[in-house]
Amino acid sequence: MTETPLLLDGTATARVIRAEVEARVRHLKEVYGVTPGLAAVLAGDNPASVTYVRMKRRACEKAGITSTAREFGSDATQEQILEAVHELNADRGVHGVLVQHPLPKGLDESEVLAAVDPNKDVDGIGRGSLGDLVKGEAVFVACTPAGMVELLDRYRLPIEGKHAVVIGRSVILGKPMALLLLNRNATVTICHSKTHNLAEITRQADILVAAVGRAEMVTGDMLKPGAVVLDAGYNRVPGRDQDVGDCDYESCSRVASAITPVPGGVGPMTIAVLLANTVTAAERRVGFGKPGAG
Ligand code: NAP
């Protein structure tokens, strides 16, 4: 492929989703007198986490969703965090509970995520949501993978029958992405740090998902001509003004038929899905809502 690839514009697509979310929020308020609410639990001073929570809260406020945060220092105890989660589970004004990942070292993140009420698990990474995803019945799917699939759908890029290669197997990103694609009848290969001959495998991908956290690791020569490339990576590189993805955009865009830029690709979709999931949680509470997507 030498012609310019289709740019999968996450900023523009997220704007459309956010407008849909705003309409659903208005409906909930007008018909049911309910204002959707999202509560974040933040522990420690990881600058990326602080920024993400701030961005999510701002996006909520713009969409008409109430946003609160329980903030703890790096010395927070497991009991304090669990108590906050239990209080938010019981709070009728809160429809979604988000535990910002990663929690400081020494805290048992798995136990905290498991404590989130499954009906409020808008981040989709609690045990119940992940189990439902395995069964193809998830209501809430982890926001970044769900955002990537939404992007494919909105651009009408087919998934069924395609060979999808996912690089990365984290619980928040790689694994749920692989399951979502499998549930949509893709043939899925998952690669990770112990995978041998990575490029041989990525060259077979009709859909290539990079979810690694290594700046520009995927280069154009690792792609099949015409591949659809979804780059979830977000990497700070010393001396560069802008964060970069896991894919080398320049060389990949010479080979791909469609590609997400960084920034402006997968990132904005993540927050849009979080807002949509929060509204879904509120809709389910009042007795309606979409069936599981995952
Ligand atoms: P993570 O938990 O560190 O997982 C990284 C995965 O990449 C692991 O499965 C690891 O394999 C694999 N990996 C590492 N080096 C590799 C190599 N050389 N070859 C093949 N696989 C390799 O990271 P994450 O939380 O999934 O995040 C991945 C990226 O997405 C990061 O850049 C992060 O900033 C970004 N991200 C973006 C958003 C967004 O909203 N856009 C949200 C979350 C994360 P092992 O399992 O073998 O260690």
Domain ranges of the chain: 32-118, 142-267
Q: What's the mean pLDDT in 233-261?
A: 96
Residue 132 confidence (pLDDT) above 80: yes
Neighbouring residues of 235: CB distance < 8 A, sequence distance ≥ 6:
213, 214, 215, 216, 243, 244, 245, 246
- CB 195 less than 6 A from any atom of ligand 1: yes
Comparing CA positions, the residue from 41, 102, 109, 38 lying closest to residue 71 is 41
- Sign, CA torsion 204/208/213/216: positive
Q: Which residue has the CA at smallest separation from atom 18 of ligand 1? A: 193
The CATH number of 142-267 is which of 3.40.190.170, 3.40.50.11900, 3.40.50.720, 3.40.50.360? 3.40.50.720
- In this predicted structure, the answer to whether residue 290 has a pLDDT above a threshold of 80 is no
Testing ligand 1's pocket by substitution, the residue of 173, 177, 217, 246 carrying the most ligand atoms inside 8 A of its CB is 173
Query: pLDDT confidence of 1, banded at 50, 70, 90?
Result: low
Say yes or no to pLDDT of 292 above 60: no
What is the amino acid identity at position 231? D
Q: Which CATH architecture has domain 32-118?
A: 3-Layer(aba) Sandwich (3.40)
pLDDT at position 88 is: 98
Write the CB contacts of 141 (distance below 8 Å, at least 6 apart in sequence). 124, 129, 133, 176, 180, 273, 293, 294
User: How confident is the model at residue 41, as a pLDDT?
Assistant: 98
> Which residues lie below 8 Å from residue 69, measured CB to CB, with a gap of 6+?
39, 40, 41, 42, 53, 57
Active site residues: 56, 100, 123
User: What would the mean pLDDT of 85-110 be, rounded to a whole number?
Assistant: 96
By CB neighbour count within 10 A (0-12 exposed, 13-18 middle, 19+ buried), where does 146 fall? buried
Whole-angstrom Cα distance, residue 11 to residue 17? 10
Q: For residue 288, what pLDDT band results from cuts at 50, 70 and 90?
A: confident
pLDDT of residue 84 exceeding 90: yes
Phi, psi (rounded to 5 degrees) for 208:
-115, 125
Model pLDDT, residue 3? 77
